[in-house]
């Protein structure tokens, strides 16, 4: 079986000379479909950089990233935009949503980009909101939702485009631990019941406990890996 994601000696450097930071230093990592992986490490260890490279938001200085065997680093422009839209779901730490759109419209937005018809969009929006436990909150604007609810809408939006993988960069960092754990449970449900592959970063011990596979990063290198 080919891995869903395969990075080979992935490196990303910032700055030059003395001031150069090796944000990611020859990271090789494989992720199989259906995995629930946490990238763990202190602040500045390269978690975001790794997720950005996997998601095609950034280009490596060396090494390759392949998703389903397609080399992401080879793509650019609309092709890359469309690839991200159709294959990768993103959840960021905060402010994921467009503030002037309702929860439903935020989810609908990405399907609109995909050219899905209005009727199908509406059905799927409802389905997604149900899954993340926000039924009945369709018309709320982000400002009328709690931080945890906003992150759930972000997860619902990521799911809505039916991607191969959802990348979540410290999705719980702005939440209290109870809300964070409940968001993680939503993600885990999606992983188990819908076989959605998740890669998320965190440095929160309570969240770490709930991941199945752990990849420890330190100074841009993989320090160790654990499966629990």
Partner 1 sequence: MLILRLAWRNLFRNIRRTVLTCMLIASSLLTIILMDGVMLGMIDVMIGSLTHTLEGEAQINSRGFRDDFEPSIRINNYREIQNELVHDPVVRGASARIIVGAMIASSYNSAGALVYGVDAASEKDVSKIEEAVYAGHFLSGQEREILLGRPMAELLEVELGDRLVLTSSTVDSKEIVQELFRLSGLFEFGPETLDENLIFINLDKAQSLFELTGAAHQIAIRFNRPEMANDPTLNIYKSFNNDQTEANGWLALQPTMGAMLEMTGYSTLIVGGILFLLASLGIINSMFMSIYERIYEFGVIKSVGTRPAEIIKLILTEAFFLALISCFFGIILGYFVSSYFSTNGIPMGRMEMSGIVLDGNMNTILEPYQFINFPIYVTLLTLIAAIYPALFASKIVPTEALQKAL
Ligand X SMILES: Nc1ncnc2c1ncn2[C@@H]1O[C@H](COP(=O)(O)OP(=O)(O)O)[C@@H](O)[C@H]1O
Applying CB under 8 A, the residues found at the interface with partner 1 are: 52, 55, 57-58, 77-78, 81-86, 88-90, 92-96, 98-101, 105, 108-110, 112-113, 157-158, 161
The residue among 21 and 208 lying less far from ligand X, judged by its C-beta, is 21
Closest CA to 90 of 166, 150, 38: 166
Residue bearing tokens 């869903």: 4
CB of 181 to ligand X, least distance (A): 21
Please give the structure tokens belonging to residue 184: 């993680």
99 binds, among Mg ion, partner 1, ligand X, none (CB under 5 to 8 A by kind): partner 1
Backbone dihedral region for residue 77 (phi beyond 0: left; psi -120 to 50: alpha; all else: beta): left
Q: Which is nearer to ligand X, 49 or 161 (CB)?
A: 49
* 137 touches ligand X by CB under 6 A: no
Written as six digits, the tokens of 29 are 């990592």
The window from 43-51, 80-88, 147-155, 182-190 that contacts ligand X (CB under 6 A) reads 43-51
Query: Is residue 47 involved in binding ligand X (CB under 6 A)?
Result: yes
Q: Does 49 bind Mg ion (CB under 5 A)?
A: no
Q: What minimum distance in Å lies between the beta carbon of 13 and ligand X?
A: 9
Tell the smallest beta-carbon distance from residue 224 to partner 1 (Å). 27
| Cα–Cα distances in angstroms (integers) from residue 21 to residues 39, 124, 133, 168, in the given order | 19, 43, 41, 23
Binders of ligand X among 5-34, rule CB under 6 A? 14, 21, 23
H/E stretch holding 25: strand 21-31
In the chain, % helix, strand, coil (3-state, to 5) comes to: 40, 25, 35
Q: Which of 48, 149, 197, 202 is close enough to bind ligand X by CB under 6 A?
A: 48
Three-state SS for 122?
Answer: helix
**Which residue is listed with tokens 């998320």?**
200
Answer whether 89's CB lies under 8 Å from 159's CB: yes
Footprint of Mg ion (CB under 5 A):
48
Footprint of ligand X (CB under 6 A):
14, 21, 23, 41, 43-49
């Amino acid at each position: 079986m080919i891995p869903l994601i395969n990075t080979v000696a992935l490196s990303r450097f910032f700055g030059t000379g003395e001031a150069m930071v090796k944000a990611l230093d020859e990271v090789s990592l494989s992720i199989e479909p259906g995995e629930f992986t946490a990238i763990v490490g202190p602040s500045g260890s390269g978690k975001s950089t790794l997720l950005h490279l996997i998601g095609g938001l950034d280009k490596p200085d060396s090494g390759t990233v392949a998703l389903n065997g397609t080399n992401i680093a080879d793509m650019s422009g609309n092709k890359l935009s469309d690839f991200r839209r159709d294959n990768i779901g993103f959840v960021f730490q905060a402010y994921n949503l467009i503030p002037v759109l309702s929860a439903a419209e935020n989810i609908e937005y990405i399907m609109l980009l995909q050219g899905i018809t209005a009727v199908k969009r509406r059905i799927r929006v409802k389905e997604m909101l149900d899954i993340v436990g926000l039924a009945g909150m369709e018309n709320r604007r982000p400002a009328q939702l709690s931080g945890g609810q906003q992150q759930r809408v972000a997860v619902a939006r990521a799911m809505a485009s039916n991607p191969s993988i959802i990348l979540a960069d410290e999705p719980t960092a702005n939440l209290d631990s109870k809300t964070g754990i409940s968001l993680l449970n939503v993600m885990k449900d999606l992983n188990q019941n819908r076989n959605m592959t998740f890669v998320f970063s965190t440095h929160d011990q309570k969240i770490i406990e709930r991941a199945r596979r752990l990849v420890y990063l330190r100074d841009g290198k993989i320090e160790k890996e654990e499966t629990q």
